[in-house]
A and B are shown apart, each in its own frame.
Chain A
C-alpha cells in the first residue's frame, strides 16, 4: 500500500547510545487517519518528530527513509527538506497553552505561517484565518483573532491550533496527543472537530495517542508500538475485534471501560511484557 507519508525501516538512535526506534515502517494515505499508539517510552512522538524534521539534537536517524508525496526527505538538502515539510505538513500539538506564544495575539500566530512560508499578503492571510476559525466553530472569530492565548479556555485554544494546522492546506497533519490535557466532554468535541476537518480537507492524519478509546473513534488504521518497535499494524475495526499481537491485546484489555468495571484494573501482565521483550530482542538480533 502506498501513502502520502511513507516511512520505511526508520531507525533512530542516540549516537553511541540506545536505539529509540527500530526499523519502523508505516504509511498514511491521503484522506487516511492512522493512530500511532503506545505507552510512554514506546517512541510514538519520536516518529512524528522524525517526519517533521524536529528530532532533538542528541538524536540521529540511523537508517530507513521518510517520504512525503514520493519525495525522499533524506535525498534533499536541509533547506530543501525544511521547505518541503513547511509546505506540506503541520502539527497539532499536545499542550495548547505552551504551543501558543503568550505574548502575541492569536491572529498573528495563525497568519505568520501563511505570510512567511507561503508568501500570502497579510490581508489574504487574515481573511483565511477568520474563515478557518468559523470552520472550527469558534464563536466571534474577529474577537478571538485579537485575543491573547491566556484569554481563551483550553478547548478554545485547541480549536485555534487546529485552525492554524489546517490554515495552509497541508497534505499531512501530525496530531500529538491533542486531547490529553482536556476534559472528557471537551475532548469529544475536539475529536469530532479534528475528524470533520480532516475529512473535509482530505488530509493524511497521523494521530499520536496513548488512548485506544480515542483511536477507536478517530482512526481508520493504527500502528501499535512497543519499545520503539512496531508490534501491530491493522485496520481499526479488525483490531478491536481481536488484536493479533499479545502485547496489543493486553494493552486493549488494560484500557478502562465503564461498561466493564473489571477492565479498568487489569494491567498489562508481566508475562506478556517479558514475552514481547524476548521476541523483539530476537527480531533486532
Chain B
C-alpha cells in the first residue's frame, strides 16, 4: 500500500490489511447468517508518533468506521492494528481497558457524546477515576483551563453550554487522560465558522504543546489543510491517496481527491469550475 512507512521506534500505529465488515440485517435470510457488507477493504498505513493525520472522504467512504476501528470501538474482521508494536485489533474489551487511557476520541456531536445527566466536572473526571489517576479534580480543572474554559463551568450541565464550549469539553475530557493518540471525528462540522476557527486553533496548539498524535477525520479538506501534515483519502473503503498535505493539494493523484478539492466552495465568485 502507498505511503506505509517502515516500522520503527517512531511509529505509533501500524495498520496492516485492515478489513471491517458488518452483517447486513436488511438482507438477512430468515434462517442463517446475514450477508456481510465490507466497509473497509484491506487498508495498510502507519501513523508516526507526533504526526497529525487527516482522513478524508465523502460519506460512505468508510472514514468514520476507520476512526472507530483505530480506537477499537469497532473490531476488525481481518488484519492487524498495532499500537507501538502491540496487536490490539484482536483484544477483547477487558484486555483493552488498561490501554484505553492511551487512545482517546473527540466526537462529532458533543450533545450526544456528553451525558446530559452529568455535570461537566463529572464528565471529565469519570475517566480519570476509572484509570485511578491521582487528584482527578485538579487534572480536570487543568484540562478545562487548557481548552480555555472557566473552571466554574465544571458545575454546569452540557445543555447549558454553547456548541463551541461543548466541543471544548469533549477535547478536555480527551486530553485530561494525557493520551498518546486522539481521534477527532468531524469535530467542527456542526459549529459556526468562528467557533470552528477557535476549536481548530485550540487543537493545533494542544497537539504541539502535549506532543499528541492526532487523526482528524473530515469531509472538508479546507479545514484540515493547516492542521494536518499528511492526508489519507478514502473512497469506498479503500485508500486512494496517501500523501503529505502540500503535495496532495498541489498535485492530487486520485480522481476522488480532485473531486473533493474542486467541490469546496471558496468564498470567491470567480472560482474556476463553478460557473453555473
Contacts and interface: CB of A to CB of B under 8 A. Distances in A.
Nearest to B58: A183
Contact of B268 (A188, A195, A196, A240): A240
Contact of A187 (B195, B223, B263, B276): B263
Contact of A184 (B226, B249, B264): B264
A261 B224 CA distance: 8
B276 A39 contact: no
Given A184-B220, A251-B194, A240 B267 contact: yes
B276 A257 contact: no
A268 B201 CA distance: 13
B194 A188 contact: no
Interface in A195-225: 195-196, 210-218
Contacts, number: 113
A264 B223 contact: yes
Contact of A185 (B58, B193, B201, B222): B58
Given A185-B260, A196-B276, A216-B271, A257 B222 contact: yes
A258 B197 contact: no
Contacts of B195: 267
A255 B260 CA distance: 18
B27 to A, nearest CB: 15
Interface residues of A, number: 40
Interface in B231-276: 249, 259-269, 271, 274, 276
Contacts of A262: 226
B192 interface: yes
A254 B265 contact: no
A259 interface: yes
B249 A258 contact: yes
Most buried by B among A187, A218, A265: A265
Nearest to B191: A40
Contacts of A184: 58, 219-220, 260, 263-265
Contact of A251 (B163, B193, B266): B193
Given A236-B269, A256-B222, A213 B194 contact: no
B204 interface: yes
A210 B222 contact: no
A83 interface: no
Most buried by A among B58, B59, B163: B59
Contacts of B261: 258
Given A217-B276, A254-B194, A261 B226 contact: yes
A214 B269 CA distance: 9
Contacts of B223: 256, 264
Interface in B175-215: 192-198, 200-201, 204
Interface string A175-191: 00000000111111001
Contacts of A265: 197, 200-201, 204, 226
Given A216-B269, A240-B269, A254 B193 contact: yes
16 contacts: A184-B220, A184-B260, A184-B265, A185-B260, A185-B263, A186-B58, A188-B265, A192-B276, A196-B276, A214-B265, A215-B267, A216-B269, A240-B267, A256-B222, A258-B221, A265-B200
Interface of B: 58-59, 163, 192-198, 200-201, 204, 219-223, 225-226, 249, 259-269, 271, 274, 276
Shortest Cβ-Cβ A-B pairs, 8 listed: A213-B265, A261-B226, A258-B222, A267-B197, A184-B263, A39-B192, A256-B222, A261-B225
